Structure 1
Amino acid sequence: MHATAPVILWFRRDLRLDDNPALSAALSSGAPIIPVYIHAPDEEAPWQPGAASRWWLHWSLAAFDAALRARGNRLWIFNGPSLTVLQQLAHETGAQAIHWNRLYDPATRERDTRIKQHLRADGLGCESHKAQVLFEPWEILNSSGQPYRVFSAFWRACVRSLQIESPHPPPEHIPSYTGIKFNAACALKSLALLPSSNWDAGFHATWEPGETGAIARAHAFIEHGLADYGTARDRPDQLGTSRLSPHLHFGEISPRRVLHMILSSGGDPTQGTAEPYIRELGWREFGYHLLHHFPQTPDAPLDERFQAFPWATERAEMTRTAWQRGQTGIPFVDAGMRELWHTGWMHNRVRMVVASLLTKNLLLPWQSGARWFWDTLVDADLANNTLGWQWTAGCGADAAPYFRIFNPVLQGQRFDPDGAYVRHWCPELARLPDKYLQQPWTAPQNVLAAAGIRLGHDYPQPIVDLAQSRTQALAAWERIK
């Protein structure tokens, strides 16, 4: 056996070498390191990773293993249960210490607490670290010691406390443990994370999972997109957002590294062109803050009045399926839903619009939309998915008032003014004039014919009357408010 007892380093959604506190702590011991990933999706129930997340996870793990091998080590992959795997590894290797970075989903938080108690009872040094957030969810409280429920006040408190330490640089070498071969380890392919059918072709063209892709995307955004983010972020027809969300979710880049890169380039969290994006990092922090303090919210509305909301049941399955498939007959919505299916991502402005249509015009529960996003988004993150859906549905913290109902026609005309976004994702509408593109049902028959469109055949009739359904939604709100 190795002369020095090794340190077990348990990786989860922190698949990076740069600015990784658990890795830094393990390296400081001077001991050989055993990097471990344990596949135990049942331990995350009922929010196991969805299909798009599993796709990303496969390629992120592959990239991370390659990065470890380039530094003299490798990633050991196991199938759960996590506690059993860690205990067996410690027993086989004589490891005396285990490090990991914290997660904040309710199920994983409870699991990690239980594992830490068991491992410490076994006599092991067991330490968790802050790596996924700028502030721990329990660090920022109001003057009464209570969690914030309004973002602006929460973020002001964060900015007052913002102290950006220099991120930990990635190590050039990670000493490996050579004392034993882990017979229980498995190959990445055996986890069967990739789809059996070829629906992921658009993912490969859109994304580069892994730390290298994350750093490259951050540099490109800060250099070319940050200065215009405040205005360009609302335009789905332009590359105006960072698209860092999946990289942040899987921990391929830390929020501290992103913020440090921005501040190093002259950005200011309180003013100037960098402030709108830094504020979005704050919105991400707010999601973790709320999920920690209100762990019921992935399934239950924070505003308990919405427990009694009269959601529609008639034709619910039919309308939900049309929404999922991008076949609502409302072009701006359909473009977003098709972008989601093809790329595993959707522009945030469009996310709000499609969520508003589902919860207000179709009167379908926000939970069903959140579940669809959970399965189809590569950046599906429980804290931020919950925050976004409850915000749009009007039932969460700092939510948009329920009576704020996005009009997808006006949203499309304003934020896709040349129709480039709709024409890309709904090519059957490409020949329609701009005047009718966002509402083809208003086009005269001769205009539709000239564009080669028969409504109900080449493109759907709208599944809902926007004006009438808005009135019905407001009436439903009156019943519970």
Structure 2
Amino acid sequence: MSSPQIVWLRRDLRLADQPALHAASQAGPVIPVFVLDDDRAGDHAYGGASRVWLHHSLESLGNSFGGRRSQIVLRKGDAPQILAALADEFGAGAIHANRHYEPWWKKAEEELADALPEDCTLVLHDGNYLMPPGSVTTGSGDPYKIYSPFAKSMLDCLPPRDELPEPDIIHSPETWPGSDDLDEWSLLPTKPDWAGGIRNFWKFGEQAAHKRLDWWADEVGDYDEGRNLPSQDTTSRLSPHLHWGEITPVQVYHRLKDKRSSGWQTFLKEIIWRDYAQNVICQFPDYARDSYRDYDERTLWRNPNSGHLIQEELECWQKGMTGYPVVDAGMRQLWQTGWMHNRVRMICASFLVKHLLIDWRHGEQWYWDCLVDADYGNNGVNWQWISGTGVDSNMFSRIMAPLSQSEKFDAAGYIREYVPELADVDDDCIHDPPDDRRGDYPAKIIGHKEARERALQAYRDSKNG
């Protein structure tokens, strides 16, 4: 029998269009391995909501492998050390893995290649994006920094590769390594169990991802206009399935490529944005931690660690108690479901960094912990875009007005769903209810005009400094 082939699973929890699994299954018996390596990512270890999704996704994929008379080996600890030891113990001919571009995973891939026995090789595949990050470059061969020319070049490069089918056969090794019990990893909260809203809102795993894509194929035509309306929520909700690799953008592209609607064209550009974010972190590995633009950040930001009032304002934002209904609806949706409507994500993020003048990194970390689709590249790029600090970003002086945004995009129904204190308030005033209609709902934490003037002055001071 051929030497066993280890498949190192990370954010590629699927059987179909899985290049690492596809190659391994053609070369010999397959040992799929997932290593929970929390220490390596530091402050970007899996957040609470991500751990909930990971548990259910691994459970679903384990059942899929079980249906093929295979299984996932679960281990906890240092990934390169564990994988190298398994390769040595079982005489693996190769470890197959899909490339990941987070800095800790790139370092782990380098460490693993150095740690393997001489007769075992690390084979890296491209499988999680439309195009391999770094492959779409300028005419001079340099990576793009700005999204618009990157997107134009990406569109010129399409279509992507063909999608791969599930392996016809997944051969098992003669003996299996020992495996942790998934439940013993305690990825799910228990005391208290705050994940009920996530479980009610989502279906997990590869089959659920494809069912969602089937539904979306009939709805994507309305995306161009409907994507900004949180009360209607004409969005795909594919983001966590894409993040965890339960489905690939290549599969999405081939499923929808014959659509002729403006909705599909807009949605395609947002898929391209995922590729763009990976290209950014390839160039700037600490992008989710360090501002790209040169401001005097001590002047620009109010630090929650320097005063209890600023800390209280951060907590009001986190809990959805700012007194701005659309902001609070978004933050409560995030806490309840592990997800937030994209238009509202921008409104909430802008409110934190410009109305409250709190450093974008506090928001990035909160989203990281609360989002089931928390992605190192996307999260960092989006926060630096809204805060005006990024390589390609909105100007800081463009300050979103949450009250007019709420009215413009008809968020009344969305507010009633997630801010029940305002359920009986009429459409004409629910976006900015007067004091006598607020009941137990809090007053505004700061007025919009006051916040805007303060933010612009702080921006001027940061540039002058």
Q: TM-score range by the shorter chain?
A: over 0.9
CA apart distance, 1:190: 1.2
- Which residue of structure 1 aligns with residue 198 of structure 2? 203
**Separation in 1 of the partners of 2:160 and 2:389?**
33
**Separation in 2 of the partners of 1:302 and 1:144?**
23
CA apart distance, 1:9: 1.0
- Which residue of structure 2 aligns with residue 278 of structure 1? 268
Contact 1:306-1:395 at 8 Å conserved across structures = no
Segments of 4+ moved more than 6 angstroms: none
Contact 2:79-2:108 at 8 Å conserved across structures = no
In the TM superposition, 1:26-175 aligns within 5 A as 26-29=24-27, 31-119=28-116, 122-175=118-171
Query: Percent identity between the aligned chains?
Result: 36
CA apart distance, 1:303: 1.1
Among 324, 328, 345, the residue aligned to 2:322: 328
Contact 2:81-2:115 at 8 Å conserved across structures = no
The code of the aligned residue for 1:471 comes to: E
- Which residue of structure 2 aligns with residue 298 of structure 1? 288
Deviates more, 1:431-440 or 1:386-395: 431-440
- Which residue of structure 1 aligns with residue 9 of structure 2? 11
Contact 1:416-1:422 at 8 Å conserved across structures = no
Q: Secondary structure at the match of 2:51?
A: helix
Contact 1:72-1:173 at 8 Å conserved across structures = no
The code of the aligned residue for 1:191 comes to: W
Among 208, 220, 245, the residue aligned to 2:239: 245
The code of the aligned residue for 2:394 comes to: A
Encode CA deviations 1:6-43: one digit per residue, 9 max, x unaligned. Answer: 111111110000100001111221x1111111111112
**Separation in 2 of the partners of 1:144 and 1:309?**
38
Encode CA deviations 1:51-92: one digit per residue, 9 max, x unaligned. Answer: 000000000000000000111211111112212222222222
Q: Do the aligned partners of residues 205 and 170 (structure 1) sit closer, same or farther apart at CA in structure 2, a change above 3 Å counting? A: same
Q: In the alignment, does 2:424 pair up with 1:427?
A: no
Q: Do the aligned partners of residues 328 and 257 (structure 1) sit closer, same or farther apart at CA in structure 2, a change above 3 Å counting? A: same
Contact 2:126-2:132 at 8 Å conserved across structures = yes
**Separation in 2 of the partners of 1:83 and 1:288?**
22
Among 438, 443, 447, the residue aligned to 1:461: 443
**Separation in 1 of the partners of 2:151 and 2:56?**
34
Specify every segment of 5 or more residues in structure 1 that has no aligned partner in the other structure, as ranges. none
Encode CA deviations 1:138-191: one digit per residue, 9 max, x unaligned. Answer: 1122234333222111101111112323200112431111x22423x2111111
Contact 2:84-2:112 at 8 Å conserved across structures = no
Q: In the alignment, does 2:429 pair up with 1:436?
A: yes
Contact 2:68-2:170 at 8 Å conserved across structures = yes
Q: In the alignment, does 2:259 pair up with 1:267?
A: yes
The code of the aligned residue for 2:287 comes to: T
**Separation in 2 of the partners of 1:97 and 1:296?**
31
Contact 1:18-1:170 at 8 Å conserved across structures = yes
What TM-score do the two structures reach when normalised by structure 2? 0.95
In the TM superposition, 1:464-479 aligns within 5 A as 464-479=446-461
Contact 1:4-1:32 at 8 Å conserved across structures = yes
- Which residue of structure 1 aligns with residue 279 of structure 2? 289
**Separation in 2 of the partners of 1:309 and 1:173?**
61
In the TM superposition, 1:310-459 aligns within 5 A as 310-313=300-303, 314=307, 315-416=309-410, 419-440=412-433, 442=434, 445=436, 448=437, 453-454=438-439, 458-459=440-441
**Separation in 1 of the partners of 2:394 and 2:322?**
24
- Which residue of structure 2 aligns with residue 480 of structure 1? 462
Q: Secondary structure at the match of 2:231?
A: coil
CA apart distance, 1:110: 1.1
Specify every segment of 5 or more residues in structure 2 that has no aligned partner in the other structure, as ranges. none
Contact 1:341-1:376 at 8 Å conserved across structures = yes
Encode CA deviations 1:258-303: one digit per residue, 9 max, x unaligned. Answer: 111111xx126xx743100001001111111111101121111111
